[in-house]
Structure 1
Amino acid sequence: MNKLIGYTTGVFDLFHIGHLNVLRRAKMECDYLIVGVTTDELSFSRKNKKPIVPFEERMSIVESIRFVDEVVPQTHMDKIQAWNNLKFDRMFVGSDWKGSDSWNKLEAEFATRGVEIVYFPYTDHTSSTFLRSVLEKI
């Protein structure tokens, strides 16, 4: 029997319970979980701000989570290229992306490769953006 490989990505800045819940739930849906941690450069190019926790430290934090089998740098947003490199069977993403044009297109592209996208509920009460805003007020 083949292992079901799962893949998810994130910045994982100011690691919190929402991050842990996503990783825990993802591992429940696959045999082997690969996590892409967004580099500082990619984060800056997308959000115009650098993460508070440096990339190497965020990689180390995610690597230490028992639900995670492998950690890779996420240096670009091209999920098809990531699939070409990693050959995952399921991709896990927050429900806040469900129904968007870009993810609808990606779902269709992944379907031709036998990849399922699984959406998890977004953690409303805790986010790195919220934690960052609190820290900036101190």
Structure 2
Amino acid sequence: MTKKKYQVGYTTGVYDLFHIGHLNLLKKAKDQCEYLIVGVTIDELVSYKNKEAIIPFEERLEIVKQISYVDAVVPQVNMNKMEAWYQLDFDAVFVGDDWKGTSTWNQFEKEFSEVGVTIEYLPYTKGTSSTHLRKTLETLNRR
């Protein structure tokens, strides 16, 4: 068995309307680390995007727990990734490349570089997103 690049990896998401983009990100993250911890965003925090999860938190948590690439699942209770690092001690954070260059992630890059954590930007799956699925459902419901 080949040794992976990282020992412990961490990624987060809402994972509402679980789709192939979610699965691709989890697989690509697990391909790079021995142990993958996934933070699933609690319902109260989803509102930071001015949205409401369609699938309740406990169900989203259970869905992610059942994914073979995932070793542990934790609630994501805030957006503070450094706080998560203090609790979980990961050496890599995985995030979609659509976040690269944003002020938030530029700041995370500075903070994580000081503690030896690497941010890996993974390719965003084109053509599918929870936002796109939500809009499609709204359109179908209007018929």
TM-score normalised over the length of structure 2 = 0.92
Cα distance in 2 between the residues matched to 1:49 and 1:104: 24
Task: Look up the match of 1:81.
Answer: 83
Task: Look up the match of 2:13.
Answer: 10
Q: Which moved more, 1:47-56 or 1:17-26?
A: 47-56
RMSD: 1.2
Task: Look up the match of 2:124.
Answer: 122
SS at structure 1 position matched to 2:63 = helix
Q: Which of 23, 28, 44 pairs up with 2:26?
A: 23
- Deviation of the 1:105 alpha carbon: 1.5
- Deviation of the 1:71 alpha carbon: 0.2
Cα distance in 1 between the residues matched to 2:93 and 2:49: 22
Q: For 1:3-41, what per-residue CA distance to the aligned partner results, in whole angstroms no more than 9, with x for missing partners?
A: 700000000000000000000000001000000000110
Q: For 1:90-132, what per-residue CA distance to the aligned partner results, in whole angstroms no more than 9, with x for missing partners?
A: 0000101111122111111101111000001112200000001
SS at structure 2 position matched to 1:80 = helix
- Deviation of the 1:74 alpha carbon: 0.3
Task: Look up the match of 1:72.
Answer: 74
- Deviation of the 1:49 alpha carbon: 2.1
Once superposed, which parts of structure 1, at least 4 consecutive aligned residues long, lie more than 3 Å away? none
Please list every run of 5 or more consecutive structure 1 residues that lacks an aligned counterpart in the other structure.
none
Aligned residues: 136
Task: Look up the match of 1:40.
Answer: 43
Please list every run of 5 or more consecutive structure 2 residues that lacks an aligned counterpart in the other structure.
none
TM-score normalised over the length of structure 1 = 0.95
Q: Which moved more, 1:96-105 or 1:112-121?
A: 96-105
